[in-house]
Amino acid sequence: MAIVTGSFGSRVRWSFADRLDGVSRSPYAAGNLADHVGDDPDHVAHNRALLAGSVGVDGAHVVSMAPVHGNDVGQVTGPSAHPVPDVDALVTMVPGLALLTLAADCVPVLLGDSVSGVVGVVHAGWRGVTSDVLGKTLDALRDMGSRPENLHALVGPAICGQCYTVHDARFDEVVAVAPAAASASTAGERALDLRAAVDERLRIAGVTSTRHGACTYESDTLYSYRRDQVTGRHGGVVTLLADEER
C-alpha cells in the first residue's frame, strides 16, 4: 500500500493508505483493509498490520468499527479482535491503539488532540452527514477533555461533488441540514459533495482540518463502491503515543 503518514502535534500520529501494493486479490486487490467484504482474512490482517506499523502500533492493536450509517460513537478502552458494533465513530484516550476508519466513497475522518491526549475516527456517508455523526464525535472528544483549538482533523478521500449524483429527495434531505454539500455533476445533475459538508462542519466547530486524497470514483488507486460494487476498502488510522514514545 502507498501509505502517507503525519502527526497532530507531539502525541498523535496518523497514517492513510490507498489500495495499492497490498496482498489482497481481485476484486479486492490489493490493499484492502476491510474484514466484512468477503476478502481472505489473512490478507486483511496483513494489510492492516502494514498500516498499523506505519504509526508504530502492532497489528493486534488495530481497533475497527462496524458502521451502520448512523451517528453513534464508541469509546475504546483496549484492543479488540472484533469490530466495535453499530457505531460510525471511535474515540479513545488509551495510548498504543490504532483506531481504524474504512471507506470506499464515504468520508473517513481522523481526529487528534495532542494537548488533551485524545484521538478519534469517523465514517461519514450521506446519512452520517444528515445525522451529524461528526458533531457527535466532536462532543465525545470534548467530554474527554479536548478543546477545538487543540483538535486537528484529516479529511480523507471520498467521492467528489461532480461524481456523486443523487435523486432529488436525497439531495433535498442532505442539503437541508448541510448546505455546503450542494453540488452538481458536469452534466448538470444534482449531486452531493460530502467532503465539503464535513469541512464546513469542522470549520463551524473551530477545528483545524486538512484534506488528503482524491475522488474515489475517479481514481483507480482508491476503492469505490459506486464504481465497482464488489470491492475493498481503503482507510486510515490514528494513534495516541505513550509518554515514553514521544
- pLDDT per residue over 94-149, tens digit each? 999 999 999 999 999 999 999 999 999 999 999 999 999 999 999 999 999 999 99
Residue 242 pLDDT: 84
Residue 246 pLDDT: 54
What mean pLDDT is predicted for residues 37-51?
Answer: 96
CATH topology of domain 3-229: CNF1/YfiH-like putative cysteine hydrolases (3.60.140)
Residue 2 pLDDT: 82
**Residues of the chain with pLDDT > 90: what percent?**
96
Type of residue at 99: L
pLDDT at 244 over 60: no
Supply angle C-alpha 95, 144, 119, rounded to 5. Answer: 40
Write the pLDDT tens digit of every residue in 65-103: 999 999 999 999 999 989 999 999 999 999 999 999 999
Q: What is the DSSP annotation of 187-233?
A: TS-EEE-HHHHHHHHHHHHT-EEEE---BTTT-TTS--HHHHSS---
pLDDT at 239 over 80: yes
User: Which of 118, 145, 131, 146 lies closest to 207 in space, CA to CA?
Assistant: 146
User: Looking only at Cα atoms, what is the longest distance across the chain?
Assistant: 55
Residue 158 pLDDT: 98
Considering the chain, what is the average pLDDT of its residues? 96
Residue 160 pLDDT: 98
Burial class of residue 61, CB neighbours in 10 A (0-12, 13-18, 19+): middle
What mean pLDDT is predicted for residues 207-228?
Answer: 97
Write the pLDDT tens digit of every residue in 141-180: 999 999 999 999 999 999 999 999 999 999 999 999 999 9
Q: In what order do the strands lie in the sheet with 3-7?
A: 3-7, 12-17, 234-240, 98-103, 62-63
